[in-house]
């Protein structure tokens, strides 16, 4: 195993260079801590056609442009993201963290994990194009507003799918819950609440879904009926990228979202988490806020500043 390109033990290693990781780096660098950022370059934010709820962008901003701005900000303080994936994270005998980048080893006193999450993707023909043009959306908190007066489908079994259908129906639109055969296991008061919210339920199994830039999202049901929508929200859940933390014993929910305290500390001493990988609302503003809290807590936990 070769040595790291970093000469010393870092005050903090930030893993993941989406909004959370980049903001954490800005804070730590401005606290004059030795910090490095390792990023595999697959931020969820890169999928955002244009976000309209991020602080200080009244006309919205394209996800990739936002990431470029955040990177530029971090680089002002000497942070050069290292494009690599951390393969494993372990503790050394002298109580440091050691990250293995598949050849390079990085040692740090503390770690902030900002590795994000992945949406469970449905099988949709033309999914990428659908995401780009807003026919497929993953986040009604982000863009439910944009669905006003449109025909909206929410795809997902009871639990996730049902809650999301009820949430989306608050935007003066026409919502159908594609319940994937799970309607029978829904409590009657929940069905009533859907009805009150004006949500239709299509209970059969969708056998094919296709995005067509002109026609919309076509959903073919098992009985050969075709349903047509302007927007489809898959609500199939997320997988939080917390394996590096749970491998060290960090507590997490079933979907991998890490438990954190009010300072973004995980249950593993010295290990913090911010952004989608940590408990909380999966939003850019939240990721930035959590990163600021985590970085400040890291700074306060370390002995006097080191450079
Ligand atoms: C289509 C879509 C639209 C959205 N719209 C909005 C919106 O309008 N407003 C809003 O607030 N939010 C929106 N979101 C959500 C937003 O993108 C996320 O909340 C945000 O990106 C979370 O930031 P993060 O830094 O926690 O994670 P991410 O941005 O996902 O970054 C995590 C980074 O960690 C890296 N990584 C993972 N594992 C490793 C590893 N082992 N080693 C090194 N690097 C690793 C990944 O490659 C990635 O670059 C949207 C998401 C999607 C998919």
Question: What's the mean pLDDT in 176-197?
Answer: 94
CA distance 163 to 226: 24
Question: What's the mean pLDDT in 255-270?
Answer: 97
Q: What separation, in Å, do the N-terminal and C-terminal C-alpha atoms of the chain show?
A: 28
> Dihedral of CA 187/189/194/195: which sign?
positive
CA 291 to chain CA mean position, Å: 14
5 pLDDT more than 90: no
Strand order in the sheet with 226-229: 206-212, 216-221, 226-229
Pocket test of ligand 1: the residue of 46, 284, 288, 295 to mutate, having most ligand atoms within 8 Å of its CB, is 284
Q: Which two tokens stand for residue 33?
A: 């801590």
Question: What's the mean pLDDT in 44-73?
Answer: 97
Burial of residue 104 (CB within 10 Å: 0-12, 13-18, 19+) is: middle
Question: What's the mean pLDDT in 94-119?
Answer: 96
158 CA distance to ligand 1 centroid (A)? 26
The answer to whether the CB of 233 falls within 8 A of the CB of 168 is yes
What confidence score (pLDDT) does residue 305 get? 61
- Cα–Cα distances (Å) from 116 to 178, 182, 211, 285, 287, in that order, read 27, 29, 27, 14, 9
306 pLDDT more than 60: no
Per-residue confidence band for 1, with pLDDT thresholds at 50, 70 and 90: very low
CA distance 217 to 102: 42
Which alpha helices (H) appear in the chain, and where do they start and end? Answer: 19-30, 63-75, 127-132, 140-143, 160-168, 188-196, 243-246, 284-301
Question: What's the mean pLDDT in 291-307?
Answer: 88
What confidence score (pLDDT) does residue 226 get? 96
4 pLDDT more than 90: no
Q: What is the Cα gyration radius of the chain? A: 21
- The neighbouring-strand residues paired with 232 are 136, 153
What confidence score (pLDDT) does residue 2 get? 45
- Cα–Cα distances (Å) from 47 to 133, 224, 239, in that order, read 11, 32, 16
**What are the tens digits of pLDDT across the range 143-162?**
999 999 999 999 999 888 99
Question: What's the mean pLDDT in 1-6?
Answer: 51
What confidence score (pLDDT) does residue 7 get? 55
Percentage of the chain surpassing pLDDT 70?
97
Side-chain-facing half-sphere of 41: CA atoms under 13 Å: 5
Q: Residue of the nearest CA to atom 19 in ligand 1? A: 283
Q: Residue of the nearest CA to atom 4 in ligand 1? A: 48
CA distance 81 to 37: 5
**Given the structure tokens 């990023």, which residue do they identify?**
39
What confidence score (pLDDT) does residue 6 get? 61
pTM of the entire predicted model:
0.95
What confidence score (pLDDT) does residue 304 get? 82
Question: What's the mean pLDDT in 285-307?
Answer: 91
Q: Residue of the nearest CA to atom 3 in ligand 1? A: 48
Q: Contacts from 127-130 at CB under 8 Å and sequence distance 24+? A: 127/211, 129/211, 129/213, 130/211, 130/217, 130/232
Percentage of the chain surpassing pLDDT 90?
93
Q: Which two tokens stand for residue 268?
A: 């593993």
What confidence score (pLDDT) does residue 159 get? 85
Q: Residue of the nearest CA to atom 38 in ligand 1? A: 115
**What are the tens digits of pLDDT across the range 197-231?**
999 999 999 999 999 999 999 999 999 999 999 99
Determine what percent of the chain falls in helix, strand and coil, rounding each to the nearest 5.
Answer: 30, 25, 45
The domains found in the chain, sorted by start residue, are: 10-118+237-301 (3.50.50.60), 121-234 (3.50.50.60)
What confidence score (pLDDT) does residue 170 get? 87
CA 211 to chain CA mean position, Å: 23
Residue with the bigger pLDDT between 163 and 3: it is 163
The answer to whether the CB of 207 falls within 8 A of the CB of 123 is no
What confidence score (pLDDT) does residue 60 get? 97
Closest ligand 1 atom, residue 243 Cα: 41
**Given the structure tokens 């602080």, which residue do they identify?**
55
What confidence score (pLDDT) does residue 100 get? 97
What confidence score (pLDDT) does residue 261 get? 98
Residues with CB under 6 Å of ligand 1 are: 15-21, 38-45, 47-48, 51, 53-54, 85-86, 114-116, 119, 131, 138-139, 142-143, 241, 244, 275-276, 282-285, 287
Q: Which two tokens stand for residue 231?
A: 């927007």
Q: Which two tokens stand for residue 263?
A: 């300072």
Per-residue confidence band for 3, with pLDDT thresholds at 50, 70 and 90: very low
């Amino acid at each position: 195993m070769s040595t790291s390109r970093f000469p010393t033990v870092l005050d903090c290693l930030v893993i993941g260079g989406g909004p959370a990781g980049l903001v954490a780096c800005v804070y730590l660098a401005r606290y004059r801590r030795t910090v490095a950022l390792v990023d595999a370059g697959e931020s969820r934010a890169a999928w955002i056609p244009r976000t309209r709820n991020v602080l200080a962008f009244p006309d919205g901003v394209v996800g990739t442009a936002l990431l470029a701005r955040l990177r530029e900000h971090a680089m002002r303080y000497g942070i050069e993201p290292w494009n690599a994936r951390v393969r494993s994270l372990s503790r050394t005998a002298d109580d440091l963290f050691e990250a293995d980048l598949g050849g390079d080893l990085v040692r740090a006193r503390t770690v902030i994990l900002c590795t994000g999450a992945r949406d469970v993707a449905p099988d949709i023909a033309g999914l990428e194009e659908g995401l780009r043009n807003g026919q497929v959306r993953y986040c009604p908190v982000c863009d439910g507003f944009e669905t006003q007066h449109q025909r909206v489908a929410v795809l997902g079994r009871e639990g996730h799918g049902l809650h999301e259908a009820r949430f989306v129906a608050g935007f003066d639109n026409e919502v159908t819950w594609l319940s994937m055969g799970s309607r029978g296991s829904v409590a009657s008061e929940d069905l009533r609440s859907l009805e009150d919210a004006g949500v239709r339920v299509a209970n059969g199994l969708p056998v094919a879904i296709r995005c067509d830039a002109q026609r919309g999202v076509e959903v073919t049901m098992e009985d050969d009926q075709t349903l047509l929508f302007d927007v489809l929200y898959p609500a199939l859940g997320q997988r939080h990228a917390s394996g590096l933390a749970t491998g060290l014993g960090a507590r997490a929910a079933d979907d991998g979202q890490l438990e954190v305290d009010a300072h973004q500390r995980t249950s593993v001493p010295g290990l913090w988490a911010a952004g989608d990988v940590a408990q909380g609302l999966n939003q850019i503003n939240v990721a930035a806020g959590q990163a600021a809290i985590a970085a400040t807590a890291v700074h306060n936990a370390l002995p006097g500043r080191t450079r």
